[in-house]
Amino acid sequence: MPVQLGTIRSLDGTTWSPAEGPKQVIADWLNAIANRFPDMASYCNSVIHQDYFAWCGLTVGYCFAVNGVAPVFGVTDTDKFLWAMAWLEWGTAVQTPQPGDVVVFDFGHGDQHVSLFEADNGNGYWACHGGNQGHAVNLSNFPRSSVRGIRRPS
């Protein structure tokens, strides 16, 4: 099993919703990334005290960072790991996912998501493990038709 899948599974049940305000576990993940990759520290610190933000990219980034793999970190904010679509610029593009690959979804109307592939359910849906899936870390099913890209660590 890829190490990032083991890490994300260990986070199952972690929750964060807009009503909660800043949350320590989210700060801990940001600090872990900043400590492992000091060039990302100012970016992590810029959001660490926010009341809430979409955190799917953070979850994926954390799962790679604690295992020594740098998350996507481009030039502009929208090219960095908190932005789901930024993950399309990371790693190597692949056509057929394997467990642990990064999957980027675009559901339209500005609604994007990034998660880790677990399995093809065979019914047009993929089981993916991620954060901010119903405001929690869990395994959820997403339509394959919404996949924008699949990336594997280089």
Annotated domain spans of the chain: 3-152
Q: If we measure between CA atoms, which residue out of 90, 35, 93 comes closest to residue 68?
A: 35
The pTM score is 0.97
- Res 150: pLDDT: 98
- CATH, domain 3-152, list 3.40.50, 3.90.1720, 1.10.3470, 1.20.120: 3.90.1720
- Res 99: pLDDT: 98
Other CB atoms closer than 10 Å to residue 80's CB: what's the count?
20
- For 35, the enclosing helix (H) or strand (E) is helix 24-36
- Res 67: pLDDT: 98
**d(C-alpha 118, C-alpha 128), whole Å:** 5
Q: Quick one: tokens of 33? A: 């990334």
Q: If we measure between CA atoms, which residue out of 37, 30, 149, 65 comes closest to residue 101?
A: 149
- Res 13: pLDDT: 97
- Res 110: pLDDT: 92
For the stretch 66-119, pLDDT in tens is 999 999 999 999 999 999 999 999 999 999 999 999 999 999 999 999 999 999
The 8-class DSSP code of residue 73 comes to B
% of the chain at pLDDT higher than 90? 98
Q: What band does 126 get if pLDDT is binned at 50, 70 and 90?
A: very high
Q: How many residues comprise the chain?
A: 154
Q: If we measure between CA atoms, which residue out of 115, 111, 101 comes closest to residue 57?
A: 115
- Res 104: pLDDT: 98
- Res 136: pLDDT: 98
In the predicted model, what is the mean pLDDT of residues 37-64? Answer: 97
Q: If we measure between CA atoms, which residue out of 15, 40, 50, 53 comes closest to residue 135?
A: 15
